[in-house]
Amino acid sequence: MGHGSARVSVLSYLLEHPTQVLALARAHLWISLLATGIATAVSVPLGIVVHRVRAVRVLALGMVNVGQAIPSLALLGLMLPLLGIGFTPALVAISARALLPILLNTYAGLLSIPQHIIEAARGMGMTDAQILWRVELRLASPVIVAGIRTALVVSIGVATLAAYIGAGGLGDLIFQGIATVDTPLLLAGAIPAAGLAFAADGLFGILERQLVRPLG
Amino acid sequence: MSYPLANALLIWRLTLEHLQISAVSCLLAILTACPLGVLVGRVRWLAPPVLAAAGIFYTIPSVALFAILIPVLGLGVKPTVLALVLYSQLALIRNTAVGINEVDAALLQAAQGMGMTNTQRFWRVEVPLAIPVIFAGVRTATVMAIGLASIAAYIGAGGLGVLIFQGISTGNTDQILTGAVAVSILALLADAILSSIQHVLRWAMGVRA
């Protein structure tokens, strides 16, 4: 099939099934956002602990290195015997994938704060909790948000793959399209999936720049 | 544990296939990205557009990128290699540019003072000193290629992903686990080997500098 005709028929597929594609896109975004939320809730506190406690740091960063190398498809495969097929194992695997960039960036963001700033805050009479909330996390926030941005893009990518174990989302159309050699169908999944990733990346990019500005 | 024992030959063949696809992709990626990285390191205004273009491919979900290439290149090894090469560009271009830029200006002046030509200075000073950073990019790209190659099994590229996809669709847990563990070992092994080469390179270049 020529490229031009494929493009026309993708358009026709999207026009004929707008509600189906939209529903899949919504499901795709939902599982990705949920996974990124879970990953943020776990990784930011963990990143703070990793920054503070040396013993945890060595262990956690070592595990991150190993975790990073394990292929996403293998991770999904390893979930199956434990959790079976469906939304839950997909969510767990996607969240596990999204943990790493947020954890690394939280640690790196906290590490990059000059010691004299923290000493100045202490000199002003701030408690440890105040220093953490008002100084450290605030100064590290652009880097942490950059990590969450990466995590969301990764989540959207892994969610596409997780359609194969029943996550739902736009990956359904892609896998169906490939299996039945139906080019318009697979492109009707692939192009919106890529669009979703670009949109998420772009929107978070704007948020990141907003955070950097007022902090100088 | 009977599946891997009964299918040892198949697993071996798929492992070789997997390594072949990953290695060919990485070599092609290095051949395209390293010259680009040097160019981007030299001509500063080229860096933002080239890195943004490489970032576009990096952002596209891998399953979607494989799918988008099917109408153009069909199924099998061809779209797989192209997708893997496109994915690796960002890590390789960025690291090459950073590596070349980080070379101490004093060393470059010293090389010039010793009467080296620009070509000599590039090959004998800049490239050797940038190698540890470039190699870190090669390591990232290789581990990524091994991971993505497993997904390419679905578009007919072969490799260990075949076991995972087949196992999932037929509900064969042993087959899934065999594939998942084998491909993870492959990735971790590649990472460990490249990491130790990276340490040796860093040590060697550190001594020479």
- Segment B67-115, tens digit of pLDDT: 999 989 989 999 999 999 999 999 999 999 999 988 888 888 899 899 9
The CATH number for B57's domain is 1.10.3720.10
Looking at the 3D structure of chain B, how many domains does it have? 1
pTM of the predicted model, to two decimals? 0.89
According to the model, what pLDDT value does residue A66 have? 87
Beta carbons of A102 and A73 less than 8 angstroms apart: no
Statement: residue A133 has pLDDT above 50: yes
According to the model, what pLDDT value does residue B2 have? 83
According to the model, what pLDDT value does residue A61 have? 86
According to the model, what pLDDT value does residue A174 have? 95
Task: Pull the structure tokens for residue B107.
Answer: 């060393």
According to the model, what pLDDT value does residue A1 have? 42
Tell me the backbone φ, ψ of residue A175, rounded to 5 degrees: -65, -40
Task: Pull the structure tokens for residue A193.
Answer: 């999936």
Task: Pull the structure tokens for residue B162.
Answer: 């075949």
According to the model, what pLDDT value does residue A2 have? 44
According to the model, what pLDDT value does residue A213 have? 62
**A156:B61 CB<8 A:** yes
How large is the average pLDDT for residues A30-43? 97
Statement: residue A9 has pLDDT above 90: no
C-alpha dihedral sign at B153, A175, B69, A191: negative
* Sites in chain B below the pLDDT cut of 70: 1, 206-209
B55: containing domain: 2-208
Q: How far apart are CA B154 and CA B171, in angstroms?
A: 16
Of the partner residues B67, B143, B173, the one whose CB lies closest to the CB of residue A190: B67
Of the given ranges (A28-37, A50-59, A156-165), which has the lowest mean pLDDT? A50-59
Tokens 């090469």 locate to B85
According to the model, what pLDDT value does residue A8 have? 58
Mean pLDDT for all residues in chain A: 89
Task: Pull the structure tokens for residue A181.
Answer: 């050699």
Beta carbons of B29 and B92 less than 8 angstroms apart: yes
Of the partner residues A1, A81, A170, the one whose CB lies closest to the CB of residue B71: A1
Chain A contact residues (CB < 8 Å to B) = 1, 3, 6, 65-66, 68-78, 80-81, 85, 153, 156-157, 159-161, 163-165, 170-171, 174-175, 177-178, 183, 186-187, 189-191, 193-194, 197-198, 201
Tell me how far apart the 2 most distant CA atoms of chain A are, in Å.
71
* CATH code of the domain occupying A3-112+140-215: 1.10.3720.10
Span A172-185, pLDDT tens digits: 999 999 999 888 89
Provide the shortest C-alpha distance from residue A147 to chain B (in Å).
14
How large is the average pLDDT for residues A144-161? 96
According to the model, what pLDDT value does residue A7 have? 55
Q: What percent of chain B has pLDDT over 90?
A: 70
Give me the interface pTM, i.e. the ipTM: 0.88
According to the model, what pLDDT value does residue B42 have? 87
Provide the shortest C-alpha distance from residue A69 to chain B (in Å).
6
Statement: residue A202 has pLDDT above 60: yes
